[in-house]
A and B are shown apart, each in its own frame.
Chain A
Amino acid sequence: MKITAAQALVRCLELEKVDIVFGYPGGAMLPVYDALYHSSIKHVLVRHEQGAVHAADGYARATGKVGVCMATSGPGATNLVTGIANAYMDSVPLVVFTGQVPTSQVGTDAFQEVDITGITIPITKHNYLVKDPAALPQIIKNAFHIASTGRPGPVLIDLPKDVAGEMIDFYYPETVRLRGYKPTYRGHHNKIIEAAELINRSQRPVIYAGGGIINSGASEELLELAELISAPVTNTFMGLSSFPGDHPLFLGMLGLHGTRYANLAVTECDLLIALGARFDDRVTGKLAKFAPHAAVIHVDIDPAEIGKNVPVHVPIVGDVKLVLRALLPLLKKTDRSPWLDRIRELRELFPLRYNREDGLKPQYIIEELYRHTGGLATIATDVGQHQMWVAQYYRFKRPRGLISSGGLGTMGFGLPAAVGAQLGLPGQQVILVTGDGSFQMTMQELATVREQDLPIKIFMLNNQSLGMVRQLQEYYCEGRYMAVDFKFHPDFITLARAYDIKGYTIQTEEEARQVIPEVLTEPGPVLVNCLVSPQEKVLPMVPSGCGIDETFES
């Protein structure tokens, strides 16, 4: 049976069991949207293409499935760029469709033409410009495979309008054809034995676990490993929620705004077991002072991450879940009480803390959210101080509980990502913690929240400023606050009401205690404008250029 390539595209999505796509139509996408008209796939119309790609990203992070979004050619495509880069940095599986001008006009600076495959080469795992309509099904098959396997990432498919309209014999291939793409899943056996020997000999091991644990679904194995070898666990920002936040072996996050005890444990350890993490600069601080006494075991599915920033004693390329399963039987249960005593001591000496005097503290709000949700909610965040406070004070107890932009640090990610997460997790509690800066970057998506009737609870920590930059200017620019304090804010409650969304303002602990549980049980969306002090800082903090043992706390 002959159908158009655009209809084939929609058939492929159905066969890939895609139930939802996020998008924004346009001229070059007319054939695809016309094909969607007849499909059971739900299309979520956002208010800006950036919202579509972040929503697909939030959906993918929350569910573990591939997120799908689409936009038209030209500005539609360029509006996706930030979101694609964001997904690329955080290894989120996306398949992104863009319309393109007809092939006869490609390269002529036609209306709404942009070379989106050229633009996105550095920020996609792979991309395609479809020239042959008959090749489209195979390309889509490949795209889903590439996006979701190995180290996940976004794949873009650019579809010229005339190609979309051509008739093809539809056939969806069952296999991919990619001779240049063969991820390694099983770790090298001898290396796993070496790793086991190092672990069994180690006196002071620390497990440093990143987003790879979540991507490979290895949380159970991680917990088993930590308990078996009595090793404390620290998470990267991307790794948060992969290990229970209230577990006695949990050290919290490490690095720039990590806990002092996590950073000191890494500094003192004799073996660092890096699992699905990439020794990012926010984690390591000054490289020469990072885990200076430790042998390093590094397990990662991306060989290019191993040895990129630090020398590694035992490199293991593979899926962290499979590697841990192979490793666990080789490990001896070992008594490491002196090391665990030392960890306990560090924890008591340098606890996470903040001063609760003078009004409502942002950290308190996060603690209250934790208390009322038991660490089981899905928390989307934006980027800035509030994000770090979530990382420090919300003790995640369920993998995929945190939906946040780690690598790229994209302000404006939060609200659309929460939209995607809530659509992927109907009936579950999705909370957005945002800041007054980030929120205003993509708050047009309140319309999507309302239109889709999503019960997202938005807590905006409003300090009337760009707090993280303000904090940096205080430390590094001697308090010359430049372009960080907002002299005007809209009335956020009226704004919420304009979108038919309930709003509350809170500014005392008393109000927080009263309003938070109430809001969390509301059936619909709510915006809570939390007035907090602009002076509050994210601490501890590792000064720029220092080792992670050199944190300061006030």
Chain B
Amino acid sequence: MRHTLAVLVENNPGVLARVAGLFSRRGYNIDSLAVGRTDNPAISRMTIVVEGDDRVLEQVTKQLHKLIDVIKISDITADEYVDRELVLIKVNAEPEKRGEIMQIADIFRARIVDLGRRTMILECTGNEGKIKAFEESLKPYGIKELVRTGKIAMLRGSRYTNINSNGSKEDD
């Protein structure tokens, strides 16, 4: 089963290497990892999607906790949350195909962020399923290049994952 972890870490150099190294040396499978700083510049937040059963997840969580730079881990998989990815796709767009592609973009509420003589770059956000469907729809035109951010996620409602919060499931 895939789990989504929201992990608060010290915004120190090397923290990504520590986390990524932990996953690889203990043989855990990362599906995706997205990281960026939070409203507090000293703290970064990682969203890690990891594959494994409950026992594996327990170990992942405990081993992550052992890293001094890891402040807090929340497994939000079982809760209501919003998750998003962002994708940029450069697709072949000969003038006669542009209309069709723009219609597809419309359906997915994607945006055209660059228009070249023969290509377009489209930007789309959404959960994994939507991103996948969007990619599939553009495939027939010839995808030249694709880049995606990995998933970020946030609990719905008034609960939150933050330091000193009591609204979330803290794992320790």
What residues make up the interface of A, taking CB atoms closer than 8 Å to B? 117-118, 121-122, 125-126, 129, 146, 178-182, 184, 302-304, 307-308
Contact = CB atoms under 8 A, between A and B. Distances in A.
B18 A121 contact: yes
B167 interface: no
Given A179-B163, A180-B10, A307-B58, A121 B21 contact: yes
A122 B70 contact: no
A178 B65 contact: no
A178 B68 CA distance: 8
Nearest to B71: A180
Interface residues of B, number: 23
B130 interface: no
B68 A180 contact: yes
A117 B14 contact: yes
B14 A307 contact: no
A307 B57 CA distance: 12
B52 to A, nearest CB: 14
B55 to A, nearest CB: 7
Interface of B: 9-10, 13-14, 17-18, 21, 25, 55, 58-59, 62-63, 65-72, 163, 172
A178 B70 CA distance: 10
A121 B17 CA distance: 9
A304 B62 contact: yes
A3 B18 CA distance: 33
Given A146-B68, A181-B68, A304-B59, 10 more contacts: A117-B14, A122-B21, A126-B67, A126-B68, A126-B69, A179-B10, A179-B71, A180-B71, A303-B172, A307-B58
B40 to A, nearest CB: 11
Nearest to A142: B68
A125 B17 contact: no
A304 B14 contact: no
B153 to A, nearest CB: 21
A307 B55 contact: yes
B67 A129 contact: no
Nearest to B72: A180
B28 to A, nearest CB: 13
A239 B107 CA distance: 66
Contacts of B69: 126, 180
B65 A303 contact: yes
B172 to A, nearest CB: 8
A381 B132 CA distance: 59
A122 B14 CA distance: 13
A304 B60 CA distance: 9
Given A179-B163, A303-B62, A125 B55 contact: no
B122 to A, nearest CB: 37
A304 B66 contact: yes
- Centre residue among A117, A121, A125, A178 by max chain B CB count within 10 A: A121
Given A304-B59, A307-B55, A308-B59, A180 B70 contact: yes
